[in-house]
Amino acid sequence: MNIPPAAILGRYRQALSNISIIMRLIYLSLLTALLFSCNRSKAKVDKDLVLKIQPFIGTDLNEINEVADSIRKYYPKVIIASPVKLPDFAFYAPRGRYRADSLLKFLSGLAKPNETLIGFTTRDISTTNGAIADWGVMGLGKCPGNSCVVSTFRLNMTKGKNQFFKVAIHELGHTMGLPHCPNPECFMRDAEGGNPLDEEKGFCPKCKKYLHNQNWKVL
């Protein structure tokens, strides 16, 4: 077949541009997977794991004791540390609130090898969510990881203790390696910027099974 040189060049360019589109799609899907995945296979089962509540100064210690008792029904090894000051490096001056991702770094630094730390604060906390640079949240947890943080700032305080507990158990679920759950009544439901906590009734059977394998008392 006799193909003119210009046509060959055109085909070659077309092939190159197809490859570049495919490469871009692969890159985007990898990026999406990284941002939204919660790597369960990385969650290791540690029989001696201790959940340590780390209050930040200003939180009500009676409320913390009650939340600790509620968490113990699901995982008995819960201890409470003395309150510490919120670290200055986590303060986000433009919004007068604390960066949850920075608080996770701070808490991870305090955690002993067999500990997962859960920070409690009354101050508003935020993180980056996709294109939104500073997005207010009720809590944030590494998934899996050794730190999470809960803020009472956005909770409905007439139902405060119950909501406080629900956010805490959700973030602890992330630290154990649980991703968000599509079941609207499950503790691992994604709040998606709202406060659906009153619709949550417990861990769904699927999340229970996972946590049971991580030594939680859920079955």
* Ramachandran sector of residue 168 (left: φ over 0; alpha: ψ -120 to 50; beta: rest): alpha
- Binding of Zn ion by 218 (CB under 5 A): no
Closer residue to Zn ion, CB minimum distance, 55 or 141: 141
- As measured in angstroms, the least distance from the Cβ of 12 to Zn ion is 48
Contact predicate 218/212, CB 8 Å: yes
Draw the binding track, 7-46, toward Zn ion (x: CB under 5 A; -: no contact): ----------------------------------------
Residue 212: CB minimum distance to Zn ion, A: 13
CB 132, min distance to Zn ion, A: 16
Restricted to residues 185-214, the positions that interact with Zn ion (CB under 5 A) are 186, 188, 204, 207
Contact indicator for 170, 188 with CB cutoff of 8 Å: yes
Say if residue 144 is preceded by a cis peptide, omega within 30 of 0.
Answer: yes
Which of 70, 108, 122, 183: binder of Zn ion (CB under 5 A)?
Answer: 183
Lookup: tokens for 70: 């509620």
CA neighbor of 133 nearest in space, from 92, 169, 183: 92
Residue whose CB is less far from Zn ion, 172 or 188: 188
Total residue count of the chain as it appears in this document:
219
Size of the site for Zn ion (CB under 5 A): 6
Rounded least distance, CB 145 to Zn ion, Å: 13
Q: Give min distance, CB of 70 to Zn ion, in A.
A: 18
DSSP 109-147: HH--TTEEEEEEESS-EEEEETTEEEEEESEEE-SSSSE
Long-range contacts of 25-28 (CB under 8 A, 24+ apart): none
Shortest Å, Cβ 45 to Zn ion: 19
Binding marks (x or -) toward Zn ion, 141..180, rule CB under 5 A?
----------------------------------------
Half-sphere exposure of 10 (CA within 13 A, CB side): 5
Of 54 and 127, CB closest to Zn ion = 127
CA distance 153 to 139: 10
Query: Is the CB of 118 or the CB of 188 nearer to Zn ion?
Result: 188
User: Which residues contribute to the site for Zn ion (CB under 5 A)?
Assistant: 181, 183, 186, 188, 204, 207
